[in-house]
Structures are given as C-alpha cells and as structure tokens.
Structure 1
Amino acid sequence: MRGKTDSGRSYYQEIEPDFAKTLVREHAAYVVNRHTIRRIHSNREFRRLILTRDNYTCHFCGEYGDTIDHLLPRAKGGHTTPVNCVCACNECNQSKADRDLDEFTESMAGRQRLEPTV
C-alpha cells in the first residue's frame, strides 16, 4: 500500500491481500495495479471527511462531536475506513472504549442513537 503522511511524506507498506480488499471495498484505498493500492486520504483528510460527513454530530447521543470512533473497534479487528468510523463526542468515545456497537448501545438505555449518514 502506498500513501502520504499528513506532512506530505510518501510511504510504502506491505499488507495482507484480504486487508487490501477490505480497504478498497470500504472506500479507504483504490487499486493502482495488481500489486499496489493507494490510500485515498491522509490521516488529517480522513478525520475532516468523517467529521464533515457527520456534521460534527455524535453518532451515539446527537450532541456536538469532534472525535472519530470505530464502530467495530480496532482491538476487535475493525479498520479505519469511512464505513467503520463515525463522529463521536469525547464522552461517548471514551465511554464506548473498545466495546462494539451492540455492547455500547445496550449500555446507553434512554439516550437517543442516530444512524450513520454513510
């Protein structure tokens, strides 16, 4: 996989074919040739994409949000892709921690949950 850091420095990283397929399928990368995929966004661009897509609104409580949360946590195999990431307020992001979406929503009884706008 090829990409650029936020500072503009190019990098190359070998990844497993299944992971490459996931990144392409979930719109985090595109195919350059048989052996190379390229990330679509730098970290900074990705953060801006998710926050603006979700209108700086927490996916979980509907309040103002300025952090990115993985619906399926990275600790449980989730990836940093537009499909798996949503805007979250700091409180919900920290409360959710490494729980998956079902575990977290069960613990949020009485609070409104918004659907992602993907």
Structure 2
Amino acid sequence: MRGKTDKGRRWVQDTDLETAVNLVREHAAVVVNRHTIRRLYTNKSFRQYVLTRDNYTCYFCGEYGDTIDHLVPRAKGGHTTPMNCVCACHLCNQSKADKNLEDFVTDEEEA
C-alpha cells in the first residue's frame, strides 16, 4: 500500500490481501497494479471528508459532531474507511468507545 502523509511525504506499507481487498471495497484505496494499492485520503483529508459528508451531525444523537467514530471498532477488526466511519459528538464517541454499534445502541436504550 502506498500513500502520502498530511505533509506530503510518501510512505509504503505492506498489508495482507484481506485488508487490501477491504480497503478497496470500502472506497478507501484504489488498485494501482496487482502488487500495489493506493490510499485515497491523507488522515486530514479523510477526517474532513467524513465530517463534511455527515454535515457535522452526530450519527448517534443528531447533535453537532466534530469527531470521527468507527462503527466497527478498530480494536475489533474495523478499518478506517468511509463506509465504517461516521461523524460523532465527543460525548457519544467517548461513550461508545470500542463497543460494537449494536451493543452501544442497546446500552443507550436501556439507560
């Protein structure tokens, strides 16, 4: 996998085939050739993309949001892709932590 940092420096990282396929399938990378995929976003541009796409509105409570949350937590195998990331307010992001979406929603309904 190849990409650029927010400051424009190039980087290269080896990744397994399953991760590469997921990144391409979830629109976070494109295939360059049979040995290389290229990330579509820097960290900064990805954050801006998600916040703008979601209109700075928390996916969970509908209030103003300015953080990014993974629906499937990275700790549980989720990737940083447009399909797995949503805008969240600070409180919801901290409350969800590394819970799966279903567990977080269930906990909120019981509270």
| Regions of 4+ moved over 3 Å | none
Aligned to 1:70: 70
Cα deviation, 1:61-99, whole Å, max 9, x if unaligned, reads 000000000000000000000000000000000000000
Please, what TM-score do these two structures have when normalized by structure 1? 0.92
Aligned to 2:53: 53
Aligned to 1:98: 98
Please, what TM-score do these two structures have when normalized by structure 2? 0.98
Task: Give distance in 1, aligned partners of 2:87 and 2:110.
Answer: 20
Q: Counterparts of 1:106-117 in structure 2 under 5 Å?
A: 106-109=106-109
Superposition RMSD in Å: 1.2
Deviation at 1:110, TM superposition (A): 7.9
Instruction: Give the total of aligned pairs.
Output: 111
SS at match of 1:86: strand
Which residue identity is paired with 2:108? Answer: M
Task: Give distance in 1, aligned partners of 2:55 and 2:65.
Answer: 9
The answer to which structure has the higher helix fraction is 2
**Residue ranges of structure 2 left out of the alignment (5+ in a row):** none
Percentage of identical aligned residues: 67
